[in-house]
Structure 1
Amino acid sequence: MANAKDGMNPQLHAAYERWMVSQVKASAGERRQRLKKGLSFSLKQFVARIFWPAVGSFDGWHAEYEVVDFKDGYRYLDLAKPSVAIKICIEVDDKGSHGQQADAYKFSDDRFRQNDLVIDDWKVLRFSLQSIMDQPRRCQQQLMHALAKWGFESDRIVPALLPTEMAIYSFIENRAESFSPAALAKAVGIHRNTAVKHLKSLVEKGKVMPDVGTKTGSPTRRYRCKKGYL
């Protein structure tokens, strides 16, 4: 059964358990011990509220990923996708470990940690626990936008939408009004031409529809969510 405190539905819970078993089997030493203790509350909330709705797959992702820092010590990344082409690190910050309650040394060390990752060509995304709990849609959109920009267009499994398409659809799905491609591009943070391309794809996939006010044969100027398609 899924743990209600984790916010995981049965499908996610089953995928998460399989993923964690495989992570433990593939690990050793300190990383293995960390994984056996289980992920933190903050990271589980990120997985349930942000990562799974946005990405829909754990393929290629690692929890408590071990990297060597510039002092020949070890650092552990909350969530990482270390592909050959690009290395992505996602960090979840809570006040206790990264914010007001952290002492001066830990605060400074956390900055050195991120700088080391950037120097080593990691793409770093950071989300606070507060934003995960209070602004999940914005976090999802930012994650999908980053993955799309970095070339990970095919991770999303259900529904079969690209990350940028998911960002557009997430913005309009609960809104009754229609939107122009320019307005959607601004909301999601992409170029208007890119928005037009993805809107056409969303129409083909049955997720959005041209506004009913658009005349037959004329260019589509506005789009809205296609009600009843889930």
Structure 2
Amino acid sequence: MRSRTGERKGRLERGHRDAEKLFCCNIWWPLQGNFNNLHPEYEVLDWRGLSYFCDFAWITPFAKLIIEIKGFGPHVTDMDRKKYCNELNRETFLAAMGFQVISFAYDDVAHHPERTITLLRMVLSRFQSESSPVNLNSVAEREIIRLACMLARPLRPIDVETHLSINHRTAVRMLQALCWKGWFTAATGATGKHVVRYELQRGAMNQIMQKT
């Protein structure tokens, strides 16, 4: 509050609403154990140049993350077409400005915090792995699992080569290592002689849900 003036300060003086307080108590603190780099009532400009205060922003050298807690009433039942369009336009504009925008339902934050913690951990792990001295192989393996989820089909070595900017031999070696761990299954082509694709196994999702 000492560093803010005007409406920026007024937002903090009036205090958080119930949703934001629950997010801090139920989600962020159990997951992170601190409030480092988390900014409440973070002011941004929308595509019209008008001020908008996001619930939270997590700003680090590696991430610009906007977090919104949305209640069913204000964001669904009480929203007209114009407000709906404005919300989507604002989120798209923020993405163009380099922010990643994620939203959580108030009901999940209040009544199913473990679900929200798991999903938020998955998001934060992408940025935290870049800023922490972790094993490079484990980071690459998680990225391969994420790639399989994004493509929603079995992976080919060329997919991994392109995504990670590595050569063919390295891509095949990494996919084989993931098969050995039971996270992927190798599938042969029509002749049955050569492995041509790698299918993600359900248990592999646990690897990107775990805390890094």
Q: What interval of TM-score do these two structures reach, taking the shorter chain for normalisation?
A: 0.5 to 0.7
Shift of 1:181: 7.4
Q: What is the CA deviation profile of residues 10-54 of structure 1, one whole-angstrom value per residue up to 9, with x for unaligned ones?
A: xxxxxxxxxxxxxx1221211211111001111111111111111
**Gap change, CA 1:152 and 1:74, over 3 Å in 2:** farther
1:26 aligns with 2:45: no
1:129 aligns with 2:106: yes
Q: What is the CA deviation profile of residues 153-180 of structure 1, one whole-angstrom value per residue up to 9, with x for unaligned ones?
A: 889xxxxxxxxxxxxxxxxxxxxxxxx9
Asked if the contact 1:93–1:126 (Cα under 8 Å) also holds between the matched residues in 2, the reply is yes
Alpha-carbon distance in 2 for matches of 1:53, 1:154: 21
1:148 aligns with 2:130: no
Alpha-carbon distance in 1 for matches of 2:39, 2:129: 16
Greater helix proportion: 2
**Gap change, CA 1:99 and 1:29, over 3 Å in 2:** same
Match of 1:221 in 2: none
Alpha-carbon distance in 2 for matches of 1:153, 1:83: 11
| Secondary structure of 1:45's aligned partner | helix
Identity of aligned residues (%): 27
**Gap change, CA 1:153 and 1:140, over 3 Å in 2:** farther
Amino acid at match of 2:86: D
Alpha-carbon distance in 1 for matches of 2:207, 2:74: 30
Alpha-carbon distance in 1 for matches of 2:13, 2:207: 38
**Paired residue for 1:93, among 43, 60, 70?**
70
Alpha-carbon distance in 1 for matches of 2:43, 2:34: 21
**Gap change, CA 1:87 and 1:95, over 3 Å in 2:** same
**Gap change, CA 1:185 and 1:26, over 3 Å in 2:** farther
Asked if the contact 1:98–1:110 (Cα under 8 Å) also holds between the matched residues in 2, the reply is no
Shift of 1:86: 2.2
**Gap change, CA 1:73 and 1:141, over 3 Å in 2:** same
Larger radius of gyration: 2
1:112 aligns with 2:131: no
| Secondary structure of 2:92's aligned partner | helix
Unmatched tracts of structure 1, length 5 or more: 1-23, 156-179, 199-230
**Gap change, CA 1:187 and 1:39, over 3 Å in 2:** same
Alpha-carbon distance in 2 for matches of 1:181, 1:26: 52
Greater strand proportion: 2
Alignment of 1:70-81 (within 5 A): 70-81=47-58
Match of 1:50 in 2: 27
Shift of 1:138: 1.2
**Stretch deviating more after TM superposition (91-100 or 37-46):** 91-100
TM-score (norm 1): 0.57
Alpha-carbon distance in 1 for matches of 2:76, 2:182: 38
Asked if the contact 1:45–1:132 (Cα under 8 Å) also holds between the matched residues in 2, the reply is yes
